[in-house]
Amino acid sequence: MEFTKNRILSNKQLCRDYYLTETDGNGQVQMGQFYMLRSWGNIPVLSRPISVFNADQGRISFVYKVIGLGTVVFAGLKPGDPIELLGPLGNGYPDAEGKIALVGGSAGVAPLYLAARQIKAAHPKSGVDMYMGFSDKPFLTKEYEEAADQVVVNVGGFITDEIDPEKYDAIFTCGPEIMMKALYEKCQKAGAHSRLWVSLESRMACGLGACFVCSRPVGGANKKICKDGPVFPAEEVFSL
Ligand SMILES: Cc1cc2nc3c(=O)[nH]c(=O)nc-3n(C[C@H](O)[C@H](O)[C@H](O)COP(=O)(O)OP(=O)(O)OC[C@H]3O[C@@H](n4cnc5c(N)ncnc54)[C@H](O)[C@@H]3O)c2cc1C
């Protein structure tokens, strides 16, 4: 983990509220890790946590939804503008091989691109199926088709309806918590819940495990999402 001052290489609007931002940088990133991003002085006070979409050949990229003050500033960045990166942070998804499903909802598809690429690079014989759920216009489907063996896209419905958990040795998910919980319940019915890993989001201040802003009960103990996570076994998050 390091703090670096970087430059924007490109900043592209994917569709109405979603952007793909590329910076220079050489981080050794594990799928599912994130950076704290900052491209302003004192206001807003806090940097913003964003997962790594891709990290390759001196470039780090992020896909994010424009929500409020911080992401509005990111959306306005131009090539050459400065941006500060702290990371990579968090644990990331565990190594997995065999038949793998990646299930993302809206902005939650972001970390699963690097996941598809890293699983295929580490285990070329593994099969990676990508499930992408969108409430509105889909984006980056062509890029995911290049990274995964099969891509299933659902717009306006429930992406969790599309997957048969029994087929998979591991399932990684990221997206709205209600979607990930529905997937957990489906996996539970199929006896596959111990093979499901979820990436949690929380309001975050330091990103380093020092401030406790992002702590919540997971697996019977208080866990810091920034440092103990953001990836956890789904059983620890959703089982009662
Ligand atoms: C580990 C992690 C990875 C993430 N990866 C992505 C990603 O790849 N793409 C993406 O679109 N979004 C991602 N998010 C959510 C993203 O951090 C928030 O949408 C963003 O911080 C909103 O900032 P804002 O200034 O635009 O909104 P505001 O609402 O103005 O932010 C106010 C404060 O709340 C925090 N905040 C608001 N919403 C969230 C949220 N959902 N999660 C965490 N903090 C929030 C902000 O960081 C800030 O401190 C991630 C969150 C976490 C915790």
* CA nearest to 35, candidates 79, 87, 80: 87
Cβ(227) to ligand 1 under 6 A?
A: no
Taking residues 205-211, what's their average pLDDT?
95
What's the 71 CA to ligand 1 centre distance in angstroms?
8
| pLDDT tens per residue across span 128-157 | 999 999 999 999 999 999 999 999 999 999
Q: Which pLDDT tens digit goes with each residue over 36-71?
A: 999 999 999 999 999 999 999 999 999 999 999 999
Residue 198 CB–ligand 1 contact under 6 Å: no
CA-closest candidate to residue 193, choices 205, 202, 201, 185 = 185
**How many CB atoms sit inside 10 A of residue 177's CB?**
14
The pLDDT confidence band at residue 34, using thresholds 50, 70 and 90, is very high
Collect contacts of 142-148 with beta carbons under 8 A, ≥24 apart. 143/113, 144/109, 144/112, 144/113, 144/116, 147/113, 147/116, 147/117, 147/120, 148/102, 148/116, 148/120
Mean pLDDT of 102-115: 98
Banded model confidence at residue 92, pLDDT cuts 50, 70, 90: very high
**Which residue minimizes the CA distance to atom 31 of ligand 1?**
68
* C-alpha torsion sign, points 171, 175, 177, 182: negative
For residue 239, the model assigns a pLDDT of 86
In this prediction, residue 107 carries a pLDDT of 97
| 62-87 confidence digits (pLDDT tens) | 999 999 999 999 999 999 999 999 99
Considering only CA atoms, which residue is closest to atom 8 of ligand 1? 51
The predicted pLDDT at position 123 comes to 98
Residue 68 Cβ contacting ligand 1 at under 6 Å: yes
Q: Whole-number mean pLDDT of the chain?
A: 97
CB of 50 shorter than 6 A to ligand 1: yes
Tell me the average pLDDT across 161-180.
98
Q: Is residue 240 predicted with pLDDT exceeding 80?
A: no
Q: How far is the CA of 113 from the centre of ligand 1 (A)?
A: 19
Q: Evaluate: CB of 113 within 6 angstroms of ligand 1.
A: no
- Determine the pLDDT at residue 27: 83
Quick check: pTM over 0.85? yes
Looking at residue 149, its pLDDT comes to 98
Does ligand 1 come within 6 angstroms of the Cβ of 200? no
Looking at the predicted structure, is the pLDDT value of residue 20 above 80?
yes
